[in-house]
């Protein structure tokens, strides 16, 4: 029996391939796996950068991301203190906002006692392709956004020891402000005099913008480079934190995010303060893809692709037609059933 026409299975396969080709060219993700991709969806209306519980977030696709401990370098955390987080992302023409949401029984936002640590969350972006998920490496760095519950609480006014120990005398700041001594204001606050952001009198954001190129290298960007905005709310045993930033700032230390380009590589981490989490004692994700919903496409933008597609399909048709006209040898399939491999 010789093959004279395509089987229905073949027709379906070629059709599916053609559809996938078209969708890929149009930038529509063909495959989707829960927990490995975060979609940055285009928002209708204003970007809810200051409203973690805004209804706009409900229309964004949520990725449930499983976290593990940090078993690589001391101080380690062998079992995660937070099992998973839900991540959503929204973009408009100029900014991106990423919402992290996780369950936490305690709201920990003070670091004023020796033993108290703050809840925190971070997003890390790979800068270039040669980086490592473990705090980056020299060949490829990371850009990190680190939200801290204590910074969020301090935005309204920096808390100090008097807030946890009301009886503490408040006349111990010395030398007093107002003298013309260069050390008068900050000299006895060594961290502040050294320019440490943690010690700063006023914070510009609850999110710190940092870079890292390996263990122990994490470094804050300059005060002028701090351009990540934060908003957070703790409600019913749940943190919701929004971190937002301009899509592609000029600073080369900032991860540039461009809708329409390849997916960004991101990872997430969460700290539970009341469990003593800080530094490497954190619950972390693996690398994930942050992909952008494409901008609406007009025919005018993609006519070269359509011409190429038409040409490709036309040539395929010619070849199929030519093949069907050949006697038994067909398109190189053995004699007999093309997918059975047997004889006539």
Partner 1 sequence: MPDVRNWQLGRSMTYPYPEHHPDWQFAFVFNINRCIACQTCSMACKSTWTFSKGQEAMWWNNVETKPYGGYPHHWDVQLLELLDGAHEAAGIDPTWGAAAAGAEAPYGSYDGMTIFEAAAREQPQTQQALGYLPADEEWRAPNIFEDVGPAGRPAPGSLGLEAAGAELPEHKAYFFYLQRLCNHCTYPACLAACPRKAIYKRPEDGVVLIDQSRCRGYRKCVEACPYKKSMYRPSTRVSEKCVACYPRLEGADPLSDGVPMETRCMAACPGRIRLQGLVPIDPDGTWADDRQNPINFLVRHEKVALPLYPQFGTEPNGFYIPPRWAPRPYLRQMFGPGVDEAIARYRAPSRELLAVLQLFRASETVIFRYEIEEGPKVFENEIDGKPWAMYDDTVIGFDKIGREVVRLSVEEPVHQRSAPHPNSI
User: Which residues are at the interface with partner 1 (CB under 8 A)?
Assistant: 71, 73-78, 111-115, 150, 160-161, 164, 168, 170, 172-174, 188-196, 198-199, 215-219, 276, 278-280
Q: How far is the CB of 116 from partner 1 (least distance, A)?
A: 8
Cα 56 off chain centre by: 18
Q: How far is the CB of 109 from partner 1 (least distance, A)?
A: 13
Q: Quote the CA–CA distance of 111 and 105 in Å, as a whole number.
A: 18
Q: How far is the CB of 205 from partner 1 (least distance, A)?
A: 16
Residue number with CB closer to partner 1 (91 or 121):
121
**289 in Cβ contact with 36 (< 8 Å):** yes
Q: Quote the CA–CA distance of 290 and 273 in Å, as a whole number.
A: 27
Q: Quote the CA–CA distance of 278 and 117 in Å, as a whole number.
A: 7
Q: How far is the CB of 57 from partner 1 (least distance, A)?
A: 30
Residue number with CB closer to partner 1 (114 or 299):
114
- Residues in the chain, total: 344
Q: How far is the CB of 87 from partner 1 (least distance, A)?
A: 25
Number of H helices, E strands in the chain: 6, 13
Q: Which of 198, 229, 172, 273 is nearest to 51 (CA)?
A: 229
Q: Quote the CA–CA distance of 33 and 288 in Å, as a whole number.
A: 11
**221 in Cβ contact with 212 (< 8 Å):** no
153: phi then psi, degrees, rounded to nearest 5: -70, -25
Residue number with CB closer to partner 1 (194 or 262):
194
Residue number with CB closer to partner 1 (45 or 74):
74
Q: How far is the CB of 218 from partner 1 (least distance, A)?
A: 7
**128 in Cβ contact with 153 (< 8 Å):** no
Cα–Cα separations (whole angstroms), residue 164 to 105, 112, 267, 277, 341: 22, 7, 35, 21, 81
Q: How far is the CB of 113 from partner 1 (least distance, A)?
A: 4
Residue number with CB closer to partner 1 (9 or 194):
194
Residue number with CB closer to partner 1 (78 or 300):
78
Q: Quote the CA–CA distance of 221 and 115 in Å, as a whole number.
A: 27
Q: Quote the CA–CA distance of 115 and 274 in Å, as a whole number.
A: 9
3-state secondary structure 25-73: HCCCCCCCCCCCEEEEEECCCCCCCCCCCCHHHHCCCCEEEECECECCC
Residue number with CB closer to partner 1 (19 or 164):
164
Cβ neighbour number for residue 173 with a 10 Å cutoff: 11
Q: How far is the CB of 32 from partner 1 (least distance, A)?
A: 35
Element housing 240 (H / E): strand 238-246
Q: How far is the CB of 204 from partner 1 (least distance, A)?
A: 16
């Amino acid at each position: 029996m010789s093959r004279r026409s395509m089987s229905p299975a073949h027709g379906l396969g070629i059709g599916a391939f053609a559809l996938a080709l078209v969708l890929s060219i149009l930038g529509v993700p063909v495959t989707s796996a829960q927990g490995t991709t975060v979609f940055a969806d285009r928002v209708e209306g204003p970007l809810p950068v200051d409203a973690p519980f805004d209804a706009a977030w409900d229309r964004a696709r949520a990725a449930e991301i499983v976290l593990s401990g940090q078993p690589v370098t001391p101080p380690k955390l062998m079992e995660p203190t937070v099992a998973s987080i839900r991540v959503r992302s929204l973009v408009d023409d100029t900014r991106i906002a990423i919402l992290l949401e996780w369950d936490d029984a305690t709201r920990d936002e003070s670091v004023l006692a020796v033993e108290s640590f703050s809840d925190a969350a971070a997003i890390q972006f790979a800068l270039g392709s040669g980086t490592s998920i473990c705090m980056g490496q020299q060949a490829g760095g990371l850009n990190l956004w680190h939200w801290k519950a204590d910074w969020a609480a301090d935005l309204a006014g920096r808390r100090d020891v008097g807030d946890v120990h009301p009886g503490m005398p408040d006349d111990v700041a010395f030398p007093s402000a107002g003298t013309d001594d260069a050390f008068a204001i900050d000299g006895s606050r060594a961290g502040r005099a050294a320019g440490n952001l943690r010690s700063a009198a006023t914070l510009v954001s609850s999110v710190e913008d940092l870079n890292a190129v390996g263990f122990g290298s994490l470094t804050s960007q300059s005060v002028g480079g701090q351009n990540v905005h934060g908003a957070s709310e703790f409600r019913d045993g749940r943190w919701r934190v929004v971190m937002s930033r301009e899509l592609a700032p000029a600073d080369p230390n900032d991860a540039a995010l461009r809708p329409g380009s390849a997916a960004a590589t991101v990872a997430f981490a969460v700290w539970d303060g009341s469990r003593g989490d800080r530094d490497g004692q954190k619950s972390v994700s693996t690398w994930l893809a942050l992909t952008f919903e494409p901008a609406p496409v007009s025919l005018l933008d993609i006519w070269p692709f359509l011409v190429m597609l038409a040409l490709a399909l036309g040539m395929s048709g010619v070849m199929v037609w030519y093949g069907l006209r050949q006697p038994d040898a067909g398109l190189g399939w053995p004699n007999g059933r093309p997918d059975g491999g047997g004889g006539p």
